[in-house]
Amino acid sequence: MGLSSSPLPTPSLDPGQRFSLSMSIAHPAPLSAVQAVDPCDETLLTMAFPALRRGVPTTLQVNLGYRCNQACSHCHVAAGPNRTESMDAATVALIPAVLQARRLSCLDLTGGAPELHPLFRSLVRQVRALGVEVIDRCNLTILQESGQENLAAFLADQGVHVVASLPCYQADNVDRQRGAGVFERSIAGLQELNGLGYGQPGSGLELDLVFNPQGAVLPPPQRQLEDDYRRVLAQDHGVVFSRLLALTNMPIQRFAQALRPEGLERYHRLLRLHHSQENLASVMCRSLLSVDWQGHLHDCDFNQQLGLGLPEPRHLRDLLSWDPCGGPIRVGEHCFGCTAGAGSSCGGALA
C-alpha cells in the first residue's frame, strides 16, 4: 500500500476545516480538522495510555476465522483467500449459551469474511431466535461469490444488521485499497441489499457503510463525509444506506508494516497529539468482549490481533459463569488510535 496515492474526494467542509485525505504522515492533519489538543503539550508524547476498566458488556464480537475472498491493504487481521484458521463447531455452539448467560444484546460477527464459515447461517438463526441483534461485518463482494447467491436474502430474512466496508465512493480509490473490480462488485452488492429493503426508511433493515482513510491520516468529520457519500451514491448508483462509520486505521498488522519504522513512529505521534481524554468514556472495549477463532477472550479486536489476551487468560466458556464487569482492560500504544480526534470504534466516531 502506498501512502502517496491519489486523493480521495474532499468532503464538503467549511474553509477553516478543509482536510486533505491524501496528506502523508509527514504532513499530519491540521488540528482544526479534528477534535484535538495543543500539539505543544509535550506530555502527550511520553504519557502512558490511561488505565481503563470494563463497564457492563453489551456486545460479544466473534471472529469466526481469517479466510476471506479479499486481501485488503488496511486489514488489521491480515485476512485472505489462503488463510485456513476457522472456529470449531464446539466453540461456535457456546455462543448462544454465553449470550443468554451474560444477557448480551448484540452478537457482532467478523472475520475474514464471516459468511464463509460453514456454521455462519445456523449460528445466525439460533441467535436471532433468542431476540439478540446480529451484526454481519460484510465486505459486499462476498454476495457475488459462488455458493453465496442467496446470502443477501438470508440476511434480510433474519433481520441481520449489515455493516459493509466501502472506503470511498469512487472506484479508483476503492480498487487501490481493496483490489481491482471491488468497487463495481460492492455497488452491485449494495443495490441487491437495497432491493431487499436494506437502508430503506422504515424497513427495519440497517445497512451501515465503513470508511477507512488511505494513508496515515485521521478520518475527516464523519457527518460531513456521510453527506457526501449519500449524495454521490444516490446520484451515481441509486444506492441508499443507514449510516456512515468513519474508522481510524490502527497502527498494527499490514497497515503498520506498510508505514515502515519511521512512518509508524510519525503516525504514533499523530495519534498521541490528537488524543482526546473525553473519548475514554466511550471506547468500545468498555462494553464489548472480543473472541478469537480459538475462543480466547480479548478486550477488543485490535488486542486480539496483537495477541493480547485479558490480564487473566479466559476462554469463551468462562463467560457461562464468570462476570467480566469491572475488570481491568489491557491498553498500549495502539489504543491512541481509538481516542485520537473524534475517536474511533466499531460503531464509528465517538464524538
117 lies in a domain?
yes
Quote the domain boundaries for residue 311: 55-259+284-325
pLDDT for the residue 75: 63
CATH number at residue 110: 3.20.20.70
Stretch 301-324: mean pLDDT: 94
The pLDDT mean for the chain works out to: 86
Q: Does 30 reside within a domain?
A: no
Q: Is residue 291 part of a domain?
A: yes
Structural domain contains residue 15? no
Model confidence band, residue 257 (pLDDT cutoffs 50, 70, 90) = confident
Report yes or no on 288 lying in a domain.
yes
| Over residues 298-311, mean pLDDT | 92
Please classify residue 149 by burial: count the beta carbons closer than 10 Å to its beta carbon, then call 0-12 exposed, 13-18 middle and 19+ buried.
exposed
Q: Which helix (H) or strand (E) holds 2?
A: none
Q: What percent of the chain has pLDDT over 90?
A: 67
| 118: pLDDT strictly greater than 90 | yes
Phi, psi of 170 (to 5 degrees): -120, 140
pLDDT of residue 69: 77
Q: Does residue 267 form part of some domain?
A: no
The C-alpha atoms of residue 349 and residue 226 are separated, in whole angstroms, by 12
Mean pLDDT computed over 202-230: 93
H helices of 60-217, in order, are 89-101, 120-129, 151-158, 171-178, 182-195
| More confident: 178 or 123 | 123
pLDDT of the residue at 259? 85
For the cut 50, the answer to whether the pLDDT of residue 29 exceeds it is no
* pTM value surpassing 0.75: yes
5 occurs within a structural domain: no
Helices 171-178 and 182-195, axial angle in degrees (round to 10): 110
Is 14's pLDDT higher than 80?
no
Residue 298 pLDDT more than 50? yes
Asked if the model's pLDDT at residue 339 lies above 70, the reply is: yes
In the chain, how many domains are there?
1
Cell for 41?
A: 503539550
Average of pLDDT values for 167-196? 88
What confidence tier does 74 reach under pLDDT thresholds 50, 70, 90? low
Alpha helix (H) residue ranges in 75-170: 89-101, 120-129, 151-158
* Residue 104 resides in a domain: yes
pLDDT band, residue 236 (cuts 50/70/90): very high
Tell how strand 288-291 and strand 297-298 pair up: antiparallel
Spatial separation of the C-alpha atoms in residues 236 and 224, rounded to whole Å: 18
